[in-house]
Structure 1
Amino acid sequence: MADAPLVPAREAGGNGAGIVDALDGLRGLAAIAVVTVHYRAMLGEWYFPSAFLAVDLFFIISGIVICLNYEDRLRGGMSTLRFMARRLARLAPLYLVALALGALVAVAGIVMGTGNWTGQTLAPVVLAGSLMLPNPFPAPRPDLFPLNPPCWSLFWELAMNLVYALALPWLGVRALPALIAGGALLLIVVATQAGGLNFGYDRMWLQIPALRVLVGFSIGVLIARLAQQGRLPASPVPVAVLLAVPLVVLAAPSTLGWIKDVTLALIVFPLLCAAAMTARPAHRRLCRTLGLISYPLYITHAVLPFEKLINVVLHREAGELAPAIGVGALAIAIGFAWLLGVAFDKPVRALLRKV
């Protein structure tokens, strides 16, 4: 399952500060769709089958936000090292909180004799995870980040941030579209061979996540530049309609295959984000709340042990109580994400800005 790293559209400083609430709304709702896939055993049929494509929407939004906040500063002399330090400072605190939660759940399983981990397998995986690196050690599951599988996209995001800092700010009006076109063509070719884009969480078809982040992020940079130049037409679509789009398209059956995947990733989501850049201001409080919870929800939902607790406390299988138990779990995960956003993420961000 694909997810993605989520940070609010209001980064500290830069020309992009305080912009585009609609992007936060899109990101938050897409994050909720992602959670439903991971909670589908508890939700029964009430989940979004194509939510793995939310990662492509997230990468586009990330390209927009990073371009608006950092491109002028990188062109003006900000070092790649300082830029990457800023990105790590933004993403690492919540990532480490989620890693600790995942490790605690694994330790509890070891103590209770209900898990597949052992002390010998857990320790090196935690070490690799603490460095935000894919796991090279034996583990009960083959994910790149077995303690918190959604973190695969965070790794690719940071890798793309490095590529961006080194090259993209200096790609001109012809070079950047050429890069996008070439990457999109390669992505389509590989998607036809693999049968779709639902790859990245393990070591199968690693060229697919690499191309997804390259193309999506670069599209976001292009959208941001067009917006700065005043070349995006004003969107006539109300924000409420824009917010509904990801929920509608991510509800599409996953069986529609690679044509649906590349259409959403390369056409629908770029147009949606471009429209969100010029949409009329509305529902700001809702959008900002969705932006606040998006990253904490993404990074923690998969480590919350709802299904194990149902088994241990209620002596039932999660599917027997679906969808009610899944709706409750989703509500708790969202509430926990909001609490983390308010009580941890925002204060830590404010503290690190002073460093």
Structure 2
Amino acid sequence: MSLIKDELFENIFTHAHGGIAIVSLEGKWVKVNKSICELFGYSEEELYSLSFQELTHRDDLDADLESMTYLIEGDVDSYQVEKRYFHKKGHVIWVLLSVSIVRDLDNNPLYFISQIVDISAQKSANWHLQFLMNVVKGQNEKLNDFARIATHDIRTHVGNLGSITEFLEEDIVTIIDNDNYKMLKESILNLDETIEHLNSIRLDKPKKFNSLNELNLSDYVKKAMYNISAIAKKEQCQIINHVDKDVMVLGIEAYLDSIILNFITNAIKYKSPNRDPIIEISTSTKGAFVILNIKDNGQGIDLEKNQQKLFTLNGTFHKHHDSRGVGLYITKNHIESIGGKIEVESKVGEGTCFYIYLLKA
């Protein structure tokens, strides 16, 4: 039976996937398995002539020796630590080291049993993630600074434009009846309102889905249509609004403004060169969602070719001088941040329909 146990132990020790080693109380490698040799790049003979102290990164050595002392003195039964070793070729290896101690019948320490798992890949991934998080944090700080400056400076310009309209009304009494002037004045008011919404987002903590505002979808569609009325007129675009006036959704004011405006302006921007643009806006319901459908008769999108990059940053699929691949990316993030989602159907040469799922109020 003893022979069988010895053979079983030898097989487990030799063929274990992880590194297993028997280490003397002085730190010499007494017995190592194949995984240990592969991990450090040394042969068995080479390792037996070395101590673990010689392979340990100096910044980790004191902590390791201190833990070993606790183990020898019986203060702990085992310990586990992340530490660094040096490979034979010189590079650093990060490992998860688990150490226990074997004692004789009189409780005197005999040797250590060490289990060593290579975690270099995980460490590298963690460092990469931390680096990216630091980059994102820096970018967010820059964006906050930009938003702070932008909302302040643009509001100043909006105030100035408002004053100019007042001067024009004083100097040209009949201008208030001019349709183009009416659109200009209304657009200035809408711009001021949008800046107010953006500023409130910048100052407030991020909202949760259950603290979103109840918004009348029809009002926001009408507002978006009015804001681009001059563009629609110039491009001879017909916008057909079938949205029921009583449809209520949950959202954030500035986000809903931006979402609707982006899809309508894109529909005009990517109109077909062979016909006047027509945009149909309607709604339907599905479970907890109100679906805002924005359908156009424009160029269409080759979804088979562009599906994967449709909502990605810098993803463009039309040759237009204003295409930056940013609008849809930001819009998708806005939709998802208020608990919604987006789907699309399109056919090249016929047009596109975006289905925007918004939480029902």
Between Structure 1 and Structure 2, the one with more strand by share is 2
TM-score category (smaller protein): under 0.3
Higher-Rg member (1/2): 2
Instruction: Give the TM-score normalised by structure 1.
Output: 0.27
Highest relative contact order (Cα 8 Å, sep 6+), 1 or 2? Answer: 1
Between Structure 1 and Structure 2, the one with more helix by share is 1
Instruction: Give the TM-score normalised by structure 2.
Output: 0.27
